[in-house]
Amino acid sequence: AQSVAQPEDQVNVAEGNPLTVKCTYSVSGNPYLFWYVQYPNRGLQFLLKYITGDNLVKGSYGFEAEFNKSQTTFHLKKPSALVSDSALYFCAVRASAGYSSASKIIFGSGTRLSIRP
Amino acid sequence: EPEVTQTPSHQVTQMGQEVILRCVPISNHLYFYWYRQILGQKVEFLVSFYNNEISEKSEIFDDQFSVERPDGSNFTLKIRSTKLEDSAMYFCASSDGTVNEQYFGPGTRLTVT
């Protein structure tokens, strides 16, 4: 069964420093991986995805993620953190249910990112 | 930029009452979903919908739940007889392909008293 794990409940980083939010995945077949961000009292916003191709995926707001097949990781990164990046981040994987069907996304438990000025 | 919209933003209801949560997906999307998030917990899949029928549903989506696409734009989630444990944030999502990202609405906070 498909699953994702986010080993850190909270990540604290000083503004201007690089940040990493960790994610490990478990899938059968090709992985379709996503990162979403949730600001307080808001919905989930799509950041980026890995379907196929380059292992380094670039997304919104300067975020990027590195797909590592051998280590089954899909860590979210940003070279220089902003205070406004403080939010809840979810790693997610598409659960394979046939190409033509509406396939659900399975979310990790979330990591709260806190950027201090 | 097109977005998924949901109404109402907050619904308070008494246990045993029926509620209907409404969603307008992005107009050219064909795949529709409902998820929920109990306060402080992870986002959980409820149901997916394609071609006017349910594609998949979770254990949470029991006989008290139903979904409908009554016209070309709305996608609704009905809970027939609400329970206290149905209190959560309910998110609608849509996508234009099975492997593509899903776009989420702002959510409806359901409070069952």
Taking only the tens place, the pLDDT of each residue in B3-23 is 999 999 999 999 999 999 999
How far is residue B94's CA from residue B96's CA, in Å, rounded to a whole number? Answer: 7
- % chain A with pLDDT above 90: 74
CB B1 within 8 A of CB B98: no
CB atoms A103 and B56 under 8 Å? yes
> For residues A23 and B70, what is the distance between their CA atoms, to the nearest angstrom?
39
Tell me if A105 and B105 make a contact (CB, 8 A cut-off).
no
* Residue range A67-93: mean pLDDT, rounded: 96
pLDDT band at A42 (very low <50, low <70, confident <90, very high): confident
Per-residue pLDDT of chain B (113 residues; tens, 9 = 90+): 789 999 999 999 999 999 999 999 999 899 999 999 998 788 999 999 998 999 999 999 999 999 999 887 899 999 999 999 999 999 999 998 767 889 999 999 999 99
C-alpha separations of B42 from A19, B66, B72 in Å: 22, 22, 31
For CA atoms A31, B3, B68, B109, give the dihedral sign.
positive
On chain A, the residues whose CB falls within 8 A of the CB of B104 are 36, 43-46
pLDDT in tens, B48-58: 999 899 999 99
Most confident range (mean pLDDT) of A20-24, A40-44, A50-54 is A20-24
Query: Does the pLDDT at position A88 exceed 70?
Result: yes
Pick from A43, A46, A102: CB nearest B91: A43
For residues A53, B102, A4, B107, the Cα torsion angle rounded to the nearest 10 degrees is 160
Percent of chain B surpassing pLDDT 90: 79
Within 10 Å of residue B85's Cβ, how many Cβ atoms? 10
